């Protein structure tokens, strides 16, 4: 076999190697995308479960007494949103969840971290904005991210995966009727 | 003689390249089919949970708070029946029939999980289950049908206020729905066909058939005592 033929053969082998390498790279990318959507969907289902469970709690510690209408000054002050001293660690109103982080898992076995933030909000123009004083509306923001390394829920930044967070906010308002 | 050697070498290299190409093509088809099966499975799960979510959101709607213990009529892992007043004040029925079909009588929505198919892989198998949905609205004809195929038969769990399994049916305050979908229409690789025993074959199957998961909790009646 002459030098030309040898070079041609080596070139052919290199080309087929590159094609196979690219094929596996693409296939691996598709697997990662499918895994991402799988755990994104499960994370979302767990997140909406936590929002749903919020609806069983009272608006404020003071409204656990349902006998009379409550006014703004009776609600927990913005600085004290969190578990109340008389709750003995048992959550009974929405703002008890402020700054709470807990772990939850779906049937896949992946552990997700759930984090709650609660604040008062008001309407300003056509926007809902944070309020530093008591309002009749509380916003609960729930964030979910997985605890895996490398992350299952992520964003691509360059060639690396950065852990991403799923976040949903819901607003719960106080109302009273006789 | 040199020409003969050249032809022989070229044939060997050509044969190797051809084998590599065939193997690569086989792998490409296998990956394409299995990825496609996975994507279909995720799509179906997404469609299914939209139907179930839309129904469970109505759970306990229009039922008096004093009767909260009756909202769940049947509470089994494979069978859920609950009350909801669907034609109490519902635009859809007004649009179709006018006001005459509105009433204050609780309606029922029923979900039943039943075996649907057993997919056999030589000496091991995978059982699939169907989810049947029946909606009974007073003054309306019954709507019934299969809404999806899943791979788990324990779908419903009934929880009390604290999120623990409810000791009695009337203590149920939340329903947890777990759905797992799998698509058994995969490319049966030589590795799968040549497995030595059922256990090994099942392990290979678990790698090939990807599951998609959904787990959601729904409160059966909203807290109106704000």
pLDDT in tens for each of the 178 residues of chain A? 678 878 888 888 898 889 888 888 888 888 888 888 999 999 999 999 999 888 888 899 898 888 888 899 999 999 999 888 888 878 888 999 999 999 998 888 889 999 999 999 999 999 999 999 999 999 999 999 998 888 888 888 888 889 999 999 999 999 887 6
Interface contact A103, partner B, CB < 8 A: no
Phi and psi at residue B99, to the nearest 5°: -75, -15
**Cβ–Cβ of B223/A34 closer than 8 Å?**
no
Surface of A (13-52) touching B: CB under 8 A: 13, 16, 19-20, 23, 27, 30-31, 34, 37-38, 41-42, 45-46, 48-49, 52
Q: Is B183 helix (H, G, I), strand (E, B) or coil?
A: coil
Has residue B225 been placed in a domain? no
Encoded tokens for B207: 């790698």
pLDDT in tens, B71-97: 899 999 999 999 998 887 766 666 666
Q: Map out the domains of chain A as residue ranges.
A: 3-173
Q: Which residues pair with B181 in a beta bridge?
A: B212
Torsion of CA A127, A130, A134, A135, to 10 degrees: 20
The CB density around residue A92, as the number of other CB atoms within 10 Å, is 16
Spell out which residues of chain B touch residue A1, defining contact as CB-CB under 8 Å.
5-6, 9-10
Phi and psi at residue B118, to the nearest 5°: -120, 115
Interface contact A111, partner B, CB < 8 A: no
Selected residue with higher pLDDT from B226 and A35? A35
> For residues B184 and B41, what is the distance between their CA atoms, to the nearest angstrom?
9
Query: What integer pLDDT is reported at residue B226 of this predicted model?
Result: 46
**Cβ–Cβ of A53/B219 closer than 8 Å?**
yes
> For residues A26 and B24, what is the distance between their CA atoms, to the nearest angstrom?
13
pLDDT over 50 at B9, yes or no: yes
> For residues B155 and B206, what is the distance between their CA atoms, to the nearest angstrom?
20
Q: Assess whether the previous peptide bond of A150 is cis (omega < 30° from 0).
A: yes
* ipTM > 0.90 for the complex: no
pLDDT in tens, A104-140: 988 888 899 999 999 999 999 999 999 999 999 999 9
- Cα angle at A18 between A14 and A19, to 5 degrees? 120
Has residue B226 been placed in a domain? no
pLDDT over 60 at B43, yes or no: yes
Residue ranges of alpha helices (H) inside B57-90 are none
How many domains does chain B divide into? 1
Q: Quickly count helices (H) and strands (E) in chain B.
A: 4, 8
Selected residue with higher pLDDT from B152 and B65? B152
In this structure, what DSSP letter does residue A74 have?
A: G
User: Strands A111-124 and A137-146, how do they pair?
Assistant: antiparallel
Has residue B90 been placed in a domain? yes
Q: Which residue of A has its CA nearest to B49?
A: A45
Interface contact B27, partner A, CB < 8 A: yes
HSE of B87 in the Cβ direction (CA atoms, 13 Å)? 21
| CB proximity list for B224: less than 8 A, separation 6 or greater | B65
Average pLDDT in chain B: 87
Interface contact A5, partner B, CB < 8 A: yes
Model confidence at B152, in pLDDT bands (50, 70, 90)? very high
Tokens 């909260």 -> residue: B68
Encoded tokens for B32: 């394409």
Which one of B48, B151, B183, B213 would you mutate to disrupt binding with A, by most A Cβ within 10 Å of its Cβ? Answer: B213
> For residues B212 and B77, what is the distance between their CA atoms, to the nearest angstrom?
19
Query: What integer pLDDT is reported at residue A120 of this predicted model?
Result: 96
Has residue B224 been placed in a domain? no
Q: Considering only the beta carbons, identify the residue of B6, B215, B223 that sits closest to A106.
A: B215
Phi and psi at residue A35, to the nearest 5°: -65, -40
Has residue B110 been placed in a domain? yes
Selected residue with higher pLDDT from B62 and B96? B62
> For residues B119 and A38, what is the distance between their CA atoms, to the nearest angstrom?
23
C-beta of residue A111 within 8 angstroms of C-beta of residue A124: no
Min Cα separation A98/chain B (Å)? 18
pLDDT over 50 at B98, yes or no: yes
Query: What integer pLDDT is reported at residue B44 of this predicted model?
Result: 93
Selected residue with higher pLDDT from A12 and B212? B212
């Amino acid at each position: 076999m002459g030098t030309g033929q040898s070079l041609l053969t080596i070139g052919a082998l290199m080309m087929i190697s590159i094609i196979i390498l690219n094929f596996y790279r693409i296939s691996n990318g598709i697997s990662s995308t499918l895994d991402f959507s799988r755990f994104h969907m499960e994370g979302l289902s767990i997140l909406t479960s936590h929002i749903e469970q919020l609806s069983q709690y009272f608006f404020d510690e003071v409204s656990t007494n349902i006998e009379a209408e409550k006014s703004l000054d009776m609600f927990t002050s913005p600085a004290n949103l969190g578990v109340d001293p008389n709750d003995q660690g048992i959550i009974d109103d929405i703002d008890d969840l402020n700054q709470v982080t807990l772990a939850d898992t779906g049937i896949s076995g992946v552990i997700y971290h759930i984090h709650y933030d609660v604040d008062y909000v008001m309407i300003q123009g056509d926007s809902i904005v944070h309020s530093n004083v008591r309002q009749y509306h509380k916003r609960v923001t729930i964030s979910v991210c997985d605890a895996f390394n490398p992350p299952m829920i992520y964003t691509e930044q360059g060639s690396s995966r950065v852990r991403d967070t799923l976040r949903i906010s819901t607003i719960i308002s106080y109302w009273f009727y006789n | 003689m040199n020409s003969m050697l050249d032809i022989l070498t070229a044939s060997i290299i050509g044969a190797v390249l051809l084998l590599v190409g065939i193997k690569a093509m086989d792998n490409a088809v296998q990956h394409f089919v299995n990825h496609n099966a996975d994507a279909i499975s995720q799509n179906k799960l997404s469609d299914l949970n939209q139907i179930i979510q839309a129904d469970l959101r109505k759970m306990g709607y229009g039922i008096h708070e004093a009767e909260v213990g009756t909202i769940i009529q049947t509470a089994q892992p494979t069978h859920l029946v609950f009350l909801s007043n669907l034609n109490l004040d519902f635009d859809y029925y007004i649009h179709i029939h006018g006001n005459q079909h509105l009433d204050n009588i609780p309606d029922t929505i029923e979900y039943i999980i039943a075996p649907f198919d057993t997919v056999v892989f030589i000496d091991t198998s995978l059982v699939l289950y169907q989810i049947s949905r029946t909606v009974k609205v007073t003054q309306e004809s019954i709507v019934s049908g299969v809404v999806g195929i899943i791979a788990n038969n324990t779908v419903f769990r009934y929880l009390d206020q604290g999120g623990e399994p409810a000791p009695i049916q009337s203590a149920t305050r939340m329903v947890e729905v777990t759905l797992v979908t799998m698509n058994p229409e995969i490319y049966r690789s030589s590795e799968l066909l040549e497995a030595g025993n059922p256990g090994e074959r099942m392990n290979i199957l678990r790698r090939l058939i990807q599951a998609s998961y959904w787990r959601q909790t729904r409160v059966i009646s909203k807290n109106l005592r704000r």
